[in-house]
């Protein structure tokens, strides 16, 4: 009878035992597991907390490199201008008016790529088989590091039009930019969807710049970087007012460019 009473005095047969006081192997195992889990959770929390600043730091570095790329392009354009007394045409054409080569090819010697330039047959189209090997060598200055671009593509496009910095088929001189070189865009970044093969004679027109908005997939959060005709580089917000955009791309519209 005594044994029966001992069985009914408690609903938990382990109550009062040492299994749950942390002193037994089982208790120590449970506590150790909890401590390990707590440590792992703490590490994950720290990593998550550190990730945004690290990511922002890396993007800042890529944005700086992108800016330097555009500065190199702007300097190359000015060096070309010093030699030929004009910027290059947006593209060259054959006797029938068919497009052959882009300005990006024409300024290669001024980007320290003379050997690459010398391998290109300018009398044949950029995508002719004879120019394939040259095409496969994308100059570093033509690739924004913030974009995972398709192979051999660029997002650095000239602004081409009758009243824009690049004339389609003839070189434009600095003296034609009467609105001021520090107020006139010459080369801009474009959205990923508008990237082109770097040797292709394709570029941007006024509508591509005017229609750019914050929903486009651009390289840098909130906007794009662009080179001006004086060789400087500016970051342009995707929210930039339409009238300011129009003033920035016109070479002789006599518009007053506000803050940008």
| pLDDT surpassing 70 at residue 5 | no
Burial class (CB in 10 A: 0-12, 13-18, 19+), 251: buried
Supply the DSSP string of 74-125, one letter for each residue: HHHHHHHHHHHSSPPPSEEE-TTS-EEEEHHHHTGGGGT-HHHHHT--TTS-
Across 187-212, average pLDDT: 92
Does 22 reside within a domain? no
| pLDDT surpassing 50 at residue 18 | no
| pLDDT surpassing 90 at residue 247 | yes
* Cross-strand bridge partners of residue 224: 236
Does 6 reside within a domain? no
Q: Are strands 185-189 and 156-158 parallel, antiparallel or unpaired?
A: antiparallel
Does 112 reside within a domain? yes
Does 14 reside within a domain? no
Does 78 reside within a domain? yes
Our CA angle for 78, 82, 87, nearest 5°, is 55
Confidence of residue 260 (pLDDT cuts 50, 70, 90): confident
Predicted confidence (pLDDT) per residue in 136-172, tens digit: 999 999 999 888 889 999 999 999 998 999 999 999 9
pLDDT score recorded for residue 114: 97
Domain containing 117: what range?
43-249
Predicted confidence (pLDDT) per residue in 22-72, tens digit: 555 555 566 667 667 767 766 666 555 555 554 456 777 888 999 999 999
> Both tokens of residue 59?
């993007």
Q: What percent of the chain has pLDDT over 90?
A: 58
Does 35 reside within a domain? no
Does 136 reside within a domain? yes
Does 230 reside within a domain? yes
Q: What is the number of alpha carbons within 13 Å of residue 157 lying toward its C-beta?
A: 26
8 A C-beta contact, residue 107 and residue 156: no
| Number of domains into which the chain is organized | 1
């Amino acid at each position: 009878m005594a044994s029966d009473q001992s069985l009914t005095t408690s609903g938990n047969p382990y109550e009062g035992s040492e299994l749950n006081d942390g002193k037994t192997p089982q208790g120590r195992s449970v506590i150790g597991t909890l401590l390990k889990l707590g440590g792992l959770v703490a590490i994950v929390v720290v990593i998550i907390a550190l990730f945004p600043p690290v990511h922002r730091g890396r993007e800042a570095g890529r944005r700086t490199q992108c800016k330097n790329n555009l500065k190199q392009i702007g300097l190359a354009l000015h060096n070309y201008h010093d030699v030929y007394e004009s910027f290059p045409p947006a593209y060259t054409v054959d006797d029938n008016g068919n497009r052959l080569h882009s300005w990006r090819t024409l300024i290669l010697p001024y980007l320290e790529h003379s050997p690459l330039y010398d391998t290109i047959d300018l009398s044949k189209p950029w995508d002719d088989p004879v120019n394939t090997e040259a095409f496969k060598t994308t100059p570093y200055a033509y690739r924004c590091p913030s974009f995972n671009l398709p192979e051999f593509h660029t997002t650095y496009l000239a602004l081409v039009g009758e009243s824009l910095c690049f004339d389609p088929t003839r070189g434009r001189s600095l003296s034609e930019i009467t609105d001021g070189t520090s107020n006139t865009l010459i080369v801009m970044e474009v959205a990923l969807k508008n990237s082109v093969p770097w040797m292709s004679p394709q570029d941007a027109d006024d509508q591509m710049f005017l229609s750019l908005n914050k929903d486009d997939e651009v390289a840098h959060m909130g906007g794009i970087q662009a080179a001006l005709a004086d060789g400087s580089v500016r970051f342009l917000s995707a929210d930039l007012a339409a009238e300011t955009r129009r003033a920035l791309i016109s070479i002789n519209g006599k518009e007053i460019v506000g803050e940008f």
